[in-house]
């Protein structure tokens, strides 16, 4: 088991120094932990990793990519800006009869997203997706 020495102590013929990580047999590591000489190294490493991730999240730049645009990402009155050309995406097609989705890069409140419009969303615009797709690919 990996341990981190909480203070200097001696294990067999080795001097273990405070703050350093060592690999000890489980019974000896547990004894050192029980006596307050050491702590599990994994716990400290996990805590440090979480602290680092939390810090990065706190410092997240406003323009960082937000992934797929969801209802909760947009508030009433927010301006949605299309930032580039759309692309046909068939990742969500369930079978060969399904139409691909139109995916648009957009920006909402300074964050970039991808806005997925499927044939259901596009139906009111009466777009023939098959002919539009073939025109776009020629």
pLDDT digits (tens, 9 = 90+) for 55-97: 555 554 444 456 788 878 888 888 889 998 888 887 776 666 6
3-state secondary structure of 59: coil
Assess whether pLDDT exceeds 70 at residue 53: no
Backbone angles phi, psi at 126, to 5 degrees: 50, 50
pTM (global) more than 0.85: no
Higher pLDDT: 15 or 51? It is 15
Residue 112, classified by CB atoms within 10 Å of its CB into exposed (0-12), middle (13-18) or buried (19+), is middle
- d(Cα 104, Cα 121) in Å, to the nearest integer? 13
Average pLDDT over residues 26-52: 79
Contacts of 61 (CB under 8 A, 6+ apart): none
- The token pair at 16 is 């273990």
What percentage of the chain exceeds 70 in pLDDT? 64
DSSP H/E element including 134: helix 129-137
């Amino acid at each position: 088991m990996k341990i981190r020495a909480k203070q200097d102590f001696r294990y067999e013929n080795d001097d273990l120094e405070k703050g350093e990580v060592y690999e000890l047999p489980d019974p000896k590591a547990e004894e050192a932990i029980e006596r307050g000489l050491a702590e599990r190294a994994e716990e400290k490493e996990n805590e440090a990793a979480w602290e680092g991730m939390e810090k990065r999240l706190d410092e997240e730049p406003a323009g960082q990519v937000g992934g797929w645009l969801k209802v909760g990402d947009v508030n009433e009155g927010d301006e949605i800006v299309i930032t580039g050309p759309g692309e046909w995406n068939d990742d969500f097609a369930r079978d060969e009869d399904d139409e691909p989705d139109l995916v648009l890069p957009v920006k909402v409140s300074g964050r970039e997203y991808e806005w997925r419009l499927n044939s259901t969303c596009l139906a009111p615009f009466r777009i023939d997706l098959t002919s539009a797709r073939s025109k776009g690919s020629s």
